[in-house]
Amino acid sequence: MARLRRREVLAAGAGGLIGASGVAARATAAPGSRSGASYDVIIVGAGLSGLTAAHVLRRGGRSVLVLEARDRVGGRNFDVRLPGTNGAVAELGGQWAGPGQTKVLALARRLGVRTFPTYAQGQSVYFHDGTRRTYPGSVPPASPAALADLARIIAGLNAMARTVPVHAPWTARGARAIDERSTGEYFDSVASTLEAREIARVALRGVYGEDAEMVSLLDLLAAIQGVGGDFSTLIGSAQSLRFVGGPEQLSRRLGARLHGAIRLGEPVIEVNWGRRVTLVTPTGAFTAGRAILTPPKPVIGSIRFEPELPAILDQLLQRQPMGAVIKINAVYARPFWRAQGLSGAVVSTTGPVQLVYDNSPPSGVPGVLVGFMEGNAGRPYLSLPAARRRAAALACFARYFGAAAGRPTAYHDMVWAAERYTRGAYSTYNPPGVLTSFGRATAAQPVGPLHFAGDGTSPLWPGYMEGAIRSGERAAAEVLRSL
Ligand SMILES: Cc1cc2nc3c(=O)[nH]c(=O)nc-3n(C[C@H](O)[C@H](O)[C@H](O)COP(=O)(O)OP(=O)(O)OC[C@H]3O[C@@H](n4cnc5c(N)ncnc54)[C@H](O)[C@@H]3O)c2cc1C
């Protein structure tokens, strides 16, 4: 992580420590949150799920310590300040919310973080087969046959999703056969036009950050149920609101209210568990009655456990990967596309950037475009030099909005797959066969004193801030019951 943020979360500090990035970092800990001290609960990870769990446990009267590997809180919420503005940011991680996301919106209200509507006025851009067209509303001007295919795909998904129990998708009728199919195979079986197959794949990448061939159809149906039963929610209304000043503030404000119970720059490298649990970091060992682990599954899999985790869980951790997303924000003096009657939104069947939105702050100044390289469309760029990534992204923006879009005043991107403590985006997903092969084991069951949270463990709004908060509440309630 390139950027070092001042540790606003900190109240009192224990000694200077070496941060995860190798840069000297001050731990954010209250007196007493020292190596060797003992707690009721230690939480690994100061993202939204971990911080939510910490608050619930504190309210339940329990002593809590949060160990965070990075030198900042927020995890996959990460905002970059735009200089010369009154606190405007470019979000490089999570950013949108929408109707039905009751927990994250309530949290924002409680913490005094206001929301504003995503800018969506004017015509959007559809780029297909080398041709750029603009269109009003939310339905791209694909061929009538492709639009009919897309309508069939969505209706089919929504109808199948209704048969899937959201808390136990592996028990659905015919679950095995559904789970063995990839979403890509489903798209191809329903759509007769190449154009519809391509658009469906762009939409799926927008949800998972991964290609349709990689994702189990049963996983998608469960996700549809988890957001209220309509596939369109995943790519539509779930993106209708943004947070003034960015969603990272939610974590920073939650962190500040924990009054020094967070230690930054403390990557947990070993977990010794039995009746109690001891978490080892490069600076020491911390013991508790229970631990809640919130990192993404592949990151948990890279921690050493003593004794080893049960084989079924270890195997599962090897099979639930993160998607591959590069998120880009290009900043301009003004949102010049608005003056041309454009909303800033793009759907393109040509990569590497296939989805773009207006990401300007509420004032509209500066203008910001956000774009995504996802799954196979972005994979070749994961290991290319930053300059090649930037050139490819800006070439896409210029293709959609003209030469001016290729000359931003500032450019920010983030390769989430290269983030050691995240390892991809947007979240974990189940490849074909995993949900039904592992069944109940996929449901984040506690193991001895170890509990699991994180957006990917939430049946409702999995992969969203909403899911992260819900998972933190669930894990904390589990712990309170068990103590
Ligand atoms: C590019 C991108 C765009 C997104 N867009 C949206 C969106 O528009 N709307 C939305 O709702 N959601 C979005 N999301 C998802 C959202 O950001 C996540 O759902 C949410 O932030 C997850 O919170 P979490 O606490 O579960 O996990 P995380 O935020 O990943 O928190 C886990 C924490 O654990 C820490 N950690 C990892 N390993 C260790 C270790 N060994 N020791 C100690 N600490 C460790 C990490 O540093 C991290 O802080 C997006 C995510 C990304 C990456």
Find the helix packing angle between 144-161 and 217-226, rounded to 10°. Answer: 80
Q: Does the beta carbon of 265 lie inside 6 Å of ligand 1?
A: no
Q: Are 205 and 327 in contact (CB under 8 A)?
A: no
C-beta separation of 56 from 473 below 8 A: yes
Q: What is Dmax (Cα atoms) for the chain?
A: 67
CB 453 within 8 Å of CB 41: no
First and final C-alpha spacing in the chain:
36
Ligand 1 pocket test target in 270, 465, 470, 471 with most atoms within 8 Å of CB: 465
DSSP bridge partners of 392: none
Atom of ligand 1 nearest to the CA of 92: 1
- Residue 348 · residue 202 · CB < 8 Å: yes
Residues 6+ apart with CB under 8 A from 342: 122, 123, 124, 125, 134, 401
pLDDT score, position 33 = 59
Measured by CA distance, the residue closest to atom 13 of ligand 1 is 94
Q: In angstroms, rounded to a whole number, what is the distance separating the alpha carbons of residues 292 and 170? A: 25
The one-letter amino acid code at 201 reads: R
Sheet of 96-97: strands edge to edge? 96-97, 241-243, 115-117
Quick check: CB of 49 below 6 Å from ligand 1?
A: yes
Neighbours of 97 (CB within 10 A): 27
- Choosing from 233, 327, 426 the residue with most ligand 1 atoms within 8 A of its CB, the one to mutate for a pocket test is 426
CATH architecture of 79-98+114-121+239-244+323-418: Alpha-Beta Complex (3.90)
Detail the DSSP E strand segments found in 106-256.
115-117, 123-128, 131-135, 241-243
Rounded Cα gap, residues 37 and 337, in angstroms: 56
Measuring CA to CA, which residue among 152, 428, 483, 158 is closest to residue 297? 428
Rounded distance from Cα 74 to ligand 1 centre (Å): 7
Of 58, 479, 73, give the one whose Cα is nearest residue 292.
479
Element holding 158 (H helix, E strand): helix 144-161
- What is the structure's pLDDT at 6? 28
Q: Give dist(CA 273, CA 389) in Å, integer.
A: 43
Instruction: State the Cα–Cα distance between residues 351 and 211, nearest whole angstrom.
Output: 13
- Distance separating alpha carbons of residues 364 and 51, to the nearest angstrom: 32
CA of 96 from ligand 1 middle (Å) equals 14
295 pocket-lining for ligand 1 (C-beta < 6 Å): yes
Count CB neighbours of 8 within 10 A: 13
Distance 76 CA to ligand 1 centre (A): 3
- pTM score, whole prediction: 0.94
Q: Does the beta carbon of 296 sit less than 6 angstroms from any atom of ligand 1?
A: yes
Question: Which residue's alpha carbon is nearest to atom 21 within ligand 1?
Answer: 76
Residue 70 CB–ligand 1 contact under 6 Å: yes
How many residues would you count in the chain? 483
Task: For the domain covering 16-75+248-309+447-482, report its CATH number.
Answer: 3.50.50.60
- What angle (nearest 5°) sits at the alpha carbon of residue 427, between those of residues 422 and 433? 120
pLDDT of residue 11: 27
In degrees rounded to 5, what are phi and psi of residue 248?
Answer: -60, -25
The per-residue pLDDT string of the chain (483 residues; one tens digit each, 9 = 90 and over) reads 232 232 323 222 222 222 222 222 333 444 345 666 789 999 999 999 999 999 999 999 999 999 999 999 999 999 999 999 989 999 999 999 999 999 999 999 999 999 999 999 999 999 999 999 999 999 999 999 999 999 999 999 999 999 999 999 999 999 999 999 999 999 999 999 999 999 999 999 999 999 999 999 999 999 999 999 999 999 889 999 999 999 999 999 999 999 889 999 999 999 999 999 999 999 999 999 999 999 999 999 999 999 999 999 999 999 999 999 999 999 999 999 999 999 999 999 999 999 999 999 999 999 999 999 999 999 999 999 999 999 999 999 999 999 999 999 999 999 999 999 999 999 999 999 999 999 999 999 999 999 999 999 999 999 999 999 999 999 999 999 999
Domain 142-235 is classified in which CATH homologous superfamily?
Guanine Nucleotide Dissociation Inhibitor, domain 1 (1.10.405.10)
| H-run or E-run covering 373 | strand 367-374
Q: Are 305 and 273 in contact (CB under 8 A)?
A: yes
Does 366 sit behind a cis peptide bond, omega within 30 degrees of 0 on the bond before it? yes
210: nearest Cα among 371, 354, 426 = 426
User: How many Cα neighbours within 13 Å face the side chain of 458?
Assistant: 27
Q: How far apart are CA 186 and CA 156, in angstroms?
A: 10
Determine the pLDDT at residue 35: 66
Same-fold call for 16-75+248-309+447-482 versus 79-98+114-121+239-244+323-418: no
The residue contributing the CA closest to ligand 1 atom 7 is 94
Ligand 1 close to Cβ of residue 48 (< 6 A): yes
Q: Where are the domains of the chain?
A: 16-75+248-309+447-482, 79-98+114-121+239-244+323-418, 142-235
